Amino acid sequence: MFLTSLSNKQWDSTWDGLPREIRLLILEALVQGGCRLSRLATVSREWQTELERHNFAQIKLTPSRLVNFNSIIHRNRAFVSYIWFCLELDEYDCTKCAPAGAGSDYEEATTISDTDHCPITTSFRNLFSVLSRWGPGAGLILDISIYLPSDSKHWFKYRTFMPDTPLDPLGSRHSIDQIVSSKPVYNDPQNGWVNGFRHSAPPSRAVLKVFHSVMGEGPFDSDQEELQWWDQLPSVPAVTTLLLRQQNRRRWKPEALAHMFAWFPRLQEVHYEPWREWDFMKMHTDRKYLYLFESIQRFNSDLKRLVVFENFNQQYPTIMQRFQFAKCDSIRNPTPAVSQMVALTSLKLEHLAASFIVDASHFFNIIKPSWEWPNLTSLVLTSNLLSPDESPIKIRAMLQAAAAVTTKMPQLERMEIWNGRKGLAALFKYQVFYNIRQARITWRGTWNLVMESSIVQAWEELLDGATIKSHGDAIRHLMLSGQVIRPISLQQIQTEQSALESVETV
């Protein structure tokens, strides 16, 4: 097919003379046939350059590799576009997978801090030191992950830990879709799994351990001391995109992230996928979110895309009710102050997606008359009002407020307001087609929302509510056009839900 299309074109007999598509097909065929990349690189200087371009484009980086990383990567630094920085914490056994009691023993079992195996502070200091020597370049994606392999060996068998994209661009390994869709048969009665099904939910303290704060109880004596430590790190102008994905159950302190982000002066895109708090910590975390978003306004003026997805598992609140100090709401109730701060942060953005951490009704109702979004082309928000149990009057008021705000967004191409959880999916979408001078309003949902014709001319498409088993299913069925979460994160959410279907109540 390619040779036919090239029959009338003049191309020389060298490797560089071949079209890029053919070169990739040849390399893919050789790799899939069992050839090692190291052997292929010795064929010619042209092959070496081509393979190095692919080998160095996406790199998994661990603390132990940081020592000599710059010297190893020096010649091919220009090829590096994505770094997956992985901090693997110390393993734990069954005596610590669900630590009981209180006091020093419990804190030691749950704390995520410096260890002999993985000194977190040293690792980040070395990372920033290494990357600070890189020039601005075309842009670098930094994907930060902190994990414990032991999590998937005890109560949380379904947990996966993957890069954002396949690390083998030539495609010789299994795709992420294949890895995520595979469902091993687990048999570990001690940790609640029998013949591939979870027959009992984990104790609350096992959940608390998995979601403990990074550097929560140390190595610093106070939060202020930790922030001062972050402030001593060097600036990293090479990083333009930062990923903090939901597979990192361990919680980052929002104020620590604010100080980290400040050292990325050319940051243009952030994907932040924290997990929901369940108890009194929610109010504390919301206050820290205010600090984080205010800091982004001050120190990340080049930011164009901000995607915040507060993930959750609907089974966790029930589990956490066993913990006598926990007061767990089944549905997240966003704080209006956070919605206002996110709205203020979005004024200079081109794309904002804020899911579950804000509510669209708050976002639109606190807009000040002087606010304008001259660059915003895409806006995606969630709202608890999009539910069959909510008042149609409140829904109508929210949509009217949203319509008023669009007049302040001259470049807006789409606005999506959605909601999703088990048995519920809803989407209100406003889309503009500038080339034909038309606009369209769309409604999709697991129920029929009746709206006055004076407000919208709706296109309604009903979904089968029985197929919505989680907010992940809702995202997939609603076909959101604006990105709200990393694709691999969505796959992991659906994989987790599939693994937990055997235990609906605990």
Instruction: Give the per-residue pLDDT at 387.
Output: 93
> Are 183 and 222 within 8 A, CB to CB?
no
> Are 47 and 41 within 8 A, CB to CB?
yes
What domain range is 121 assigned to?
Answer: 58-379
Same domain, 163 and 25: no
In a domain, 364, yes or no: yes
Residue 467: pLDDT above 90? no
Last residue of a domain, one of 379, 394, 425: 379
Q: Residue holding tokens 């020093």?
A: 104
Q: Of residues 307 and 152, which shows the higher confidence score?
A: 307
Distance, CA of 30 to CA of 459 (rounded, Å): 50
Q: What angle do CA 345, 348, 351 make, to 5 degrees?
A: 85
Residue 126: pLDDT above 80? yes
CB atoms within 10 A of CB 461: 13
CB atoms within 10 A of CB 78: 13
> Are 83 and 164 within 8 A, CB to CB?
no
Which tokens is 323 given? 């913990």
Kindly report which listed range (87-96, 277-286, 355-364) carries the lowest average pLDDT score: 87-96
> Are 349 and 379 within 8 A, CB to CB?
no
Same domain, 186 and 98: yes
In a domain, 304, yes or no: yes
In a domain, 212, yes or no: yes
Instruction: Give the per-residue pLDDT at 97.
Output: 56
In a domain, 25, yes or no: yes
Same domain, 185 and 210: yes
Same domain, 21 and 136: no
Same domain, 99 and 138: yes
What dihedral do alpha carbons 363, 369, 375, 380 form, nearest 10°?
10
Same domain, 157 and 89: yes
Burial of 264 (0-12, 13-18, 19+ CB in 10 A): buried
Please state the domain count of the chain.
Answer: 2
Same domain, 95 and 143: yes
What are the φ and ψ backbone dihedral angles of 225, each rounded to 5 degrees? -65, -35
- Percent of residues, the chain, with pLDDT higher than 70: 73
In a domain, 487, yes or no: no
Same domain, 123 and 139: yes
Read off the pLDDT of residues 296-349 as tens digits, 9 standing for 90 and up.
999 999 999 999 999 988 877 777 776 655 567 778 889 999 999 999 999 999
Same domain, 298 and 155: yes
Same domain, 43 and 138: no
Q: Of residues 26 and 308, which shows the higher confidence score?
A: 308
In a domain, 32, yes or no: yes
Which tokens is 135 given? 């020039």
> Are 77 and 57 within 8 A, CB to CB?
no
Last residue of a domain, one of 336, 357, 379: 379
In a domain, 319, yes or no: yes
Same domain, 146 and 37: no
Kindly report which listed range (128-137, 208-217, 258-267, 483-492) carries the lowest average pLDDT score: 208-217
Which tokens is 299 given? 């120190």
> Are 482 and 353 within 8 A, CB to CB?
yes
Last residue of a domain, one of 379, 405, 434: 379
Q: CA distances (Å), 9 to each of 3, 16, 284, in order? A: 10, 15, 66
Q: Of residues 271 and 220, which shows the higher confidence score?
A: 271
In a domain, 386, yes or no: no
Distance, CA of 101 to CA of 11 (rounded, Å): 74
SS3 147: strand
For the chain, what percentages of helix, strand and coil (3-state, to nearest 5) are there? 35, 15, 45
Same domain, 13 and 110: no
Rounded to the nearest integer, the mean pLDDT of the chain is 79
Q: CA distances (Å), 352 to each of 254, 295, 298, in order? A: 18, 17, 17
Q: Which helix (H) or strand (E) holds 244?
A: strand 239-244
